[in-house]
Structure 1
Amino acid sequence: MKRLAVYCGSATPEDTRYIELARQVGTTLTERGIGVVYGGGKAGLMGAIADATLKAGGEVIGIIPQALVDMEVANTDCTELHVVQTMHQRKQAFTDLSDGFITIPGGVGTMDELWEAISWAQLGYHQKPVGLLNALGYYDGLVAFNSHMAETGFVREAHRGIMIVSETIEELLDKMANHQPARTIVQMRAEDL
């Protein structure tokens, strides 16, 4: 894995552990020789991961819609900053430029990015690892809900393991390095669906 898309919030929570977590992720990725592809913003966890990665000497590629550039929230310190027109183009660029995806704490936009990465893996649009960093128990409910979807039959057994979960960035990266792509929907027969 040479580059990973990192999905995270642009908010700055009162609990400073989340900002520290983002910094740790950026530093750890750099130490492992992995570049960061992210949302291109300078605020919140986005800004923290970019700053930490750059300070550690790592590569940071930002992908940001023009509307957010116009709001002056773009991080112009990135190694590369790609300006796109739509959120769909942004997510496509994340997929095109990365070898996998890591989701750290965030909100609605972060969830949109995570679920699309999982959905695209199910469909066979990519075969890249999709990691979820469940640090500080932030995603306990989401992990439980993903299991609930599988237990009730809305997530196929073949796709249950697409979301790779860990509580530490080091363990998550190790699991992602051993990723085996799932059998995709397009590889299945109609009666398997």
Structure 2
Amino acid sequence: MRTSKPLAVCVFCSSSGKIDRRYTDLAAEVGAELARRGHSLVSGGAQVSCMGAVARAARAGGARTVGVIPEGLVSVEISDEDNDELIITSDMRARKGEMDRRSDAFLILPGGIGTLEELFEVWTARVLAMHEKPVVILDPTGVYEPLRELMKGLTDQGFARPRIWDAIGWTASVPDAFDLLERAQPRIEFSPEDYAEAEL
């Protein structure tokens, strides 16, 4: 079953200017699809690389965009002033909290350590039943395949519970990613006793 309401979709993605153009093109495709489906965007608030591409494409399609950026990055003049709303936070932790608060769903594109940090935070919180917002990785080029293999190994060795896979969607297709975001997600039950068996 799909949600009938528009979603505020938080997109975690790269701000690196050294990546291949196919990743900024992917971000633009995501922004266009988000707008086509009537959703709004929450992003990291920068005008560079994938962050800028997804926001520009979303606005071009008529979507509302909210950027959340820490004060330290505003000073280096990379903030996207064209956002419908630009929120300046004191630091990175406050930024993530504000993005989380304003979002109904999380979509993760290829990115670096900042993107991975954001991914693991929302993925862990969903496994722990601290939120029920969908979390989806969009990886058409296989950037995250080593990560998937690592997590499978951790699961096999008991460091992570099999339920972690119930808490995330993984796809190579932009339309499929939005289908997963719009679909009702399974509720994950968690109890303190789970800690006695395995992490997460």
Partner of 1:6: 11
Residue 189 of structure 1: how far off its partner (Å):
5.5
1:14-163 matches, cutoff 5 A: 14-163=19-168
Contact in 2 for aligned 1:10/1:46 (Cα 8 Å): yes
SS in 1 for 2:166: coil
Contact in 2 for aligned 1:159/1:182 (Cα 8 Å): no
Instruction: Specify whether residues 49 and 185 from structure 1 end up closer, same or farther in structure 2 by C-alpha distance, changes over 3 A only.
Output: farther
Matched, 1:181 2:152: no
In 2, distance between residues paired with 1:163 and 1:27?
Answer: 23
> How many residues align structurally?
192
SS in 1 for 2:10: strand
Contact in 2 for aligned 1:128/1:181 (Cα 8 Å): no
Contact in 1 for aligned 2:47/2:79 (Cα 8 Å): yes
Contact in 1 for aligned 2:106/2:133 (Cα 8 Å): yes
| Unaligned segments of structure 2, at least 5 residues | 1-5
37-46 vs 150-159, which deviates more?
150-159
Which amino acid is the alignment partner of residue 72 of structure 1? E
Residue 109 of structure 1: how far off its partner (Å):
0.4
* TM-superposition CA deviations, 1:52-85 (whole Å, max 9, x none): 1111111110000011111111000001101000
RMSD of aligned residue pairs (Cα, Å)? 1.6
SS in 2 for 1:114: helix
| Unaligned segments of structure 1, at least 5 residues | none
SS in 2 for 1:75: coil
Contact in 2 for aligned 1:4/1:34 (Cα 8 Å): yes
Partner of 2:3: none
